[in-house]
Chain A
Amino acid sequence: MRLDKIVKELELEVLTEKNIENDVEGVYIGDLLSLVMANANEKNLWITIQTHLNIIAVATLVGLSAILIAEGMEVEDETIKKANEVGIPVLRSKLSAYELACRLYELGV
């Protein structure tokens, strides 16, 4: 499914420059970056509450479609700056990871 459709349906806040036309295949949820590096799959949408700069490196390494920050966590400026540099969309929602996962499942992701 295209990312812009997910953003529209779940009313997600887009924190990076708007390049959200890429494809999403599946979802990964996790906050320990070592596990994300080991277990997430390419094109996954990644739901996390970690906001450290390293999330961008991990997303690039795995080839994730986008990062979705749950619980309305505050994201550091340098994280967004890096995301724009490498072209990883960073989205945000006030909902919890569980609520987001349910909505994504309903959408058919």
Chain B
Amino acid sequence: MRLSYDLHIHSVLSPCGDKDMTPNNIVNMAYIKGLDIISVTDHNTMENVEAVMKVAKKRDILVIPGIEVTTKEEVHVLCYFRNIEDGMEFQDFIYRGLPDIKNNEKLFGSQLLMDEDDNIIGKIDKFLLNSTKYTIKEINDFVNKLNGALVPAHVDKKSYSILANLGFIPDELNIKTVEVSSDYFSLSTDTLINLDRYNVLKNSDAHYLGDINEPIVFLDIERKNINFLIEYLNKSWRNIR
């Protein structure tokens, strides 16, 4: 099945996410645009994922539990899980690794928890944009233990990217899929050379509703379910010369 996707969307729980990025707005925008699969990946937390999953059931959109983690090296990695329980176990581990620094709403914006009716049910105190104390390897090991998938985020960017911060993608992580922020054909030659072994996703990294992907990028999986998607992200689909 050729399915359209956007696996990197921020909700109102990310301090940088717009106030309109509520569970219902995100799902309905994806529905209007005609997306098949989405993932809400807030910074270092998954507290709003379950509400999004509940809303999406009515719309026949597949939601994969996700999170955007900041590693000790200040690299952003997207982590995806097979179910919300694994996701919550992972997010608790991540939350423990965040420094005890309170969010400053005036400076960074609010970190709102919502239910499936878009009611505000709380806030997260710790500032979520900080780096966790875990190395990229420690995070990768935990994702693997939970049978999830790890995808380095916006590798073509100059900051918070595995290529900028670590120079190249370490083989030992056994990564199969990366995310880029620009159109594939506008990437620099340097970036393309670095990526010739990997599957490439193009997500929106949307902080505003209008930025969510149009249905113009696709992935090909046998059935529209999370297990097939995780396996797609963990497998090499390109010919290794």
Contacts and interface: CB of A to CB of B under 8 A. Distances in A.
Interface of A: 31-37, 50-54, 57-58, 76
Interface in B138-195: 163-168, 170, 172
B164 A50 contact: no
Given A52-B135, A52-B136, A37 B167 contact: yes
Interface of B: 72-73, 135-137, 163-168, 170, 172
Contact of A36 (B137, B163, B167, B170): B167
Per CB-CB distance, the 8 closest pairs between chain A and chain B, nearest first, are A33-B167, A54-B166, A34-B164, A34-B167, A52-B73, A33-B166, A37-B167, A32-B164
B75 to A, nearest CB: 9
A31 to B, nearest CB: 8
A18 B120 CA distance: 58
A34 B156 CA distance: 12
Contact of B165 (A50, A53, A57, A76): A50
Contact of B73 (A34, A36, A50, A57): A50
A32 B161 CA distance: 10
26 contacts: A31-B165, A32-B164, A32-B165, A33-B165, A33-B166, A33-B168, A34-B163, A34-B165, A34-B167, A35-B164, A37-B167, A50-B73, A50-B166, A51-B72, A52-B73, A52-B135, A53-B170, A54-B166, A54-B167, A54-B168, A54-B170, A57-B167, A57-B168, A58-B167, A76-B135, A76-B137
**Most A Cβ at <10 Å: residue of B165, B167, B172:** B167
B171 to A, nearest CB: 10
B136 to A, nearest CB: 7
Contacts of B172: 53
Contacts of B136: 52
Nearest to B74: A31
A86 to B, nearest CB: 15
Contacts of A34: 163-165, 167
A37 B168 CA distance: 10
Contacts of B166: 33, 50, 52, 54
A53 B71 CA distance: 14
Contacts of A52: 73, 135-136, 166, 170
A56 to B, nearest CB: 11
Given A31-B165, A50-B73, A57-B167, 9 more contacts: A33-B164, A34-B163, A37-B167, A50-B166, A51-B72, A52-B166, A52-B170, A54-B166, A76-B137
B19 to A, nearest CB: 33
A35 B190 CA distance: 13
A54 B75 CA distance: 13
Nearest to A36: B167
A32 B166 CA distance: 7
A81 B73 CA distance: 19
Nearest to A37: B167
Contacts of A57: 167-168
